[in-house]
A = this chain, B = another copy of it.
Amino acid sequence: MAFPFTIQAQAGPARLGRMQTAHGEVETPAFMPCGTAGTVKAVPQDILEELGAQLILGNTYHLYLRPGHELIRGLGGLHKFMSWERAIITDSGGFQVFSLSELRKVTEEGVHFRSHLDGTSHLFSPERSTEIQIALGGDIIMAFDECTEHPAERCRARESMEMTLRWARRSRDCFENHKHEVPWFGDADRQAGQTQALFGIVQGGMYADLRRESAERMVETGFSGYAIGGLSVGEPREQRMEMIAAVLEVLPQDRPRYVMGVGYPDEIAQYAAMGVDMMDCVLPTRAARHGLLFTSEGRLNIKNIRFAQDQGPLDSKCGCKVCSRYSRAYLRHLFVSREPLAGVLNTIHNLWFYLDTMRSVRHAIKLGDFSGTLAGKVSLG
């Protein structure tokens, strides 16, 4: 069954779309908050709903290690486990293995690694990653890939890209054989027979021709959507945009395009303007916990002494529940006192800012006036 994705309006290359998942509709372009270990750090699920999050990301690596995918499968899947009835996407585990694990060893079979939690040995392969992601039961799951390190020589980038392609085919084959095993398959309240959607991941380092080739061959393999991985690994933003632009030329118009692990608020608006439909990033949540807040007037570090007696809201143009109620002085006090409420409130504000940026982007596409409407907003975040 094709993964339902419809484009409802366009403004230049930017697209206003709608994905129909087994757990509700998702309007695109969408920013997806990071729900790492089954929780968007510090934010209760009802507040995520209030913020308007329609699709959140869970990390296969983290959930596999703790509490374990078999436990989550046994409890009915990740939606039930974390009590989140809206859509979920899981990553393949490839990026976390690349960034977090110790003693990583990559072979054709997959990646042998040691857990960053307790040093135990594990293998992620295309089959294993797919099996785990089916057990978790995200609405969208990702083919297992190798996140090419940066910088990488051309021959290394090609080699890695070729392996990601072979792994992608193995992921797809495994998925086709096991997709009916998803915990919620056949739930009365799901669309009859709806399975998960599997997305392929384009790699190719910082070589536009390799990126294009990777995209073309991923499309030949056939997926419900296409992601661009291996970015935000230290490259300058211009290079990232160049890679994204190269890939977008090749990807089919009627399938969702997802840029993984980006970015700043102006950046995500920019990618949406280029025709990207989905993005995720730890930045709003992680920065919040470190006191870095995004506002319509730019970034601010809430621990700064100049906010000590500032009675104004974080962002006078923001409609979030934090800006409606609390002052900068109070938020600064919570942060410097290391109060747990600091992380809660800062995260709520930053997520609102990101999700609201995407709401504005969608509105602008609808009006066909992308650059005009957003010029003020996207240049400052």
Asked whether, in the complex, the Cβ of B37 is within 8 Å of the Cβ of A337, the reply is: yes
Interface size class of A (residues with CB under 8 A): 35 or more
Asked whether, in the complex, the Cβ of A83 is within 8 Å of the Cβ of B325, the reply is: yes
A98 at the interface (CB under 8 A from B): no
| Binding stretch for chain B, among A178-186, A293-301, A338-346 | A338-346
Q: Mark A46-71, 1 if CB is under 8 A from B, else 0.
A: 10000000000000000000110001
CA distance in complex: A325, B46 (Å): 9
Stoichiometry, as copies per complex, reads 2
Partner of A327, one of B37, B46, B75: B75
Query: Which chain A residues (209-231) contact chain B, with CB distance < 8 Å?
Result: none
Asked whether, in the complex, the Cβ of A39 is within 8 Å of the Cβ of B341, the reply is: yes
Asked whether, in the complex, the Cβ of A74 is within 8 Å of the Cβ of B309, the reply is: yes
Asked whether, in the complex, the Cβ of A327 is within 8 Å of the Cβ of B74, the reply is: no
Residues of B within 8 Å of A373, CB to CB, are none
Partner of A330, one of B43, B81, B325: B81
**Contact flag A339-B45 (CB < 8 Å), given A66-B333, A329-B81, A330-B82:** no
A38 at the interface (CB under 8 A from B): yes
Residues of B within 8 Å of A311, CB to CB, are 75
Partner of A41, one of B82, B325, B339, B345: B339
Q: Mark A67-97, 1 if CB is under 8 A from B, else 0.
A: 1000100110000011100000000000000
Q: Which residues of A are at the interface with B, using a C-beta cutoff of 8 A?
A: 37-39, 41-46, 66-67, 71, 74-75, 81-83, 289, 308-309, 311, 321, 325-327, 329-330, 333-334, 336-337, 339-341, 343-345
